[in-house]
Amino acid sequence: MALVLSGGGGERMGVLSAERAVSAIPFGGKYRIIDFALSNCCHSEIVHVGVLTQHAPTSLHDHIGAGRPWDLDRRGGGVMVLQPYLTRSNSGWYRGTADAIAQNLDSIDERGGDRILVLAGDHVYRMDYRALVQTHEQQRAAVTLAVTPVPRDQTRRFGMVTVDGEGRVTRLDEKPASSETLLASMGIYLFESDVLREALRGRPVDLVLDVLRPLLDSGVRLAAHAFSGYWEDVGTIGSYYRANLELVAPEPRLVMHDRRWPILTRDEERPPALLLEGADVEDSVIANGCRIAGRVRRSVIFPGVAIGAGCEIVDSIVLPDVIVERGARLTGAILDKYVRVGEGARVGRAALDDPSAPAPSASDGWLEGLTLVGKDAVLPPGLRVGPGAVIGHGALPEDFGEGEVGAGALTPNRTWYGDRT
């Protein structure tokens, strides 16, 4: 059985995860992030899948439904959504990754087998889990971790794994300031069921700190499975942005049109994209239902987006059903669903006197110089929103005062049931 951990609050994703789980955030023009884990399960012939949810789960539940796109709508197996609940002896909310599994052990035991595969719901990759199982069996391991090499300057983002010459894990360091090893844990763990069940007896909180490390210290055999394909943890704004724009690179590392291992999703019934007079599109993804009359460069445009005449969209990600009115410009921006950009507005680096400023880098803070616009925000005509600014979801024209939002500024969120008219 596979368990997909999808309950995190995603604080590092800002307004994109304010009203949805990170794994439900749209990705790549038509997908959701969780589609990668579910598609890998489908192609790896894993038919028992549990999705553990907690933070803002409505969008994720709606997307998964009965699991039909991933061939998980079946009697003998299928997908099971596991969310917190209250009983007389159970406090409800998951305290962490290990606690989430522990609270659902009864449901897991009913459908699980001799092994439990634990996956993260916010990673983008293609992987045949059967190769992981093969390594697990060859190593005669109690637990097997999938690992992949990462650049030295990125080791602080991940759990780093030290492996001996026989493929056995000898050390685990969770997000160290520096690391001698370059092998990062992918957040993919294959447990022998009895080992996991025994480790969860004391109701641990964190899967790495409270389960894997004690198992390693006690001498239990932990093995490493090396993975060399594309893999990205998209749990930060910068990594999410780069992973999306990777799709429009001249030679992308992640190829979405591989028919041997397609990424499956719940597709929307939209008409084909329409390029109108004046449209000029280069190195971009344009999804179904879009109406383009402006210029689009190196961007990912999701279903139902309307881009007016004279607009310019550069190095940006525009989520479904956004309207960009005539003459507006976006550079280095991420716009959530249902945003409306007024005529002549400038967002991101396009708001600068020199819109050809360098692309964002990891040294620019958590936003990396990008501009975020939350769901349902309405930007008035002529507004200028500088790099590193965050527009809260539901923002209205009266929230912008002088018609300019400076670099790094933040406007508050509005709620549909309270302060939004």
Domains of the chain: 2-246 (3.90.550.10), 274-411 (2.160.10.10)
DSSP letter at 288 equals: T
- E-assigned strands of 129-192? 143-149, 159-163, 169-174, 183-192
Q: Average of pLDDT values for 34-51?
A: 96
Number of CB atoms found within 10 A of residue 276's CB? 13
> If we measure between CA atoms, which residue out of 226, 245, 26, 233 comes closest to residue 121?
233
Q: Is the dihedral of CA 178, 126, 367, 64 positive or negative?
A: negative
Instruction: Give residue-wise pLDDT tens across range 236-273.
Output: 999 999 999 999 999 999 888 888 999 999 988 899 99
Measured distance CA(348)–CA(371) in Å, rounded: 5
| Type of residue at 5 | L
The per-residue pLDDT for 92 is 75
User: How open is the CA angle 330-331-337, to the nearest 5 degrees?
Assistant: 50
Residue 302 has pLDDT above 70, yes or no: yes
Measured distance CA(354)–CA(357) in Å, rounded: 6
Residue 362 has pLDDT above 50, yes or no: no
Instruction: Give residue-wise pLDDT tens across range 319-328.
Output: 999 999 999 9
Q: Is 313 helix (H, G, I), strand (E, B) or coil?
A: strand
- Helix (H), strand (E) counts: the chain: 8, 33
Instruction: Quote the tokens at residue 246.
Output: 């990777």
> If we measure between CA atoms, which residue out of 8, 94, 109 comes closest to residue 50?
109
The per-residue pLDDT for 109 is 85
| Type of residue at 100 | A
The overall average pLDDT reported for the chain is 91
Number of CB atoms found within 10 A of residue 343's CB? 16
Residue 113 has pLDDT above 90, yes or no: no
Instruction: Give residue-wise pLDDT tens across range 199-245.
Output: 999 889 999 999 999 999 999 999 999 999 999 999 899 999 999 99
Whether the pTM exceeds 0.95: the reply is: no
The per-residue pLDDT for 15 is 92
Measured distance CA(391)–CA(412) in Å, rounded: 7
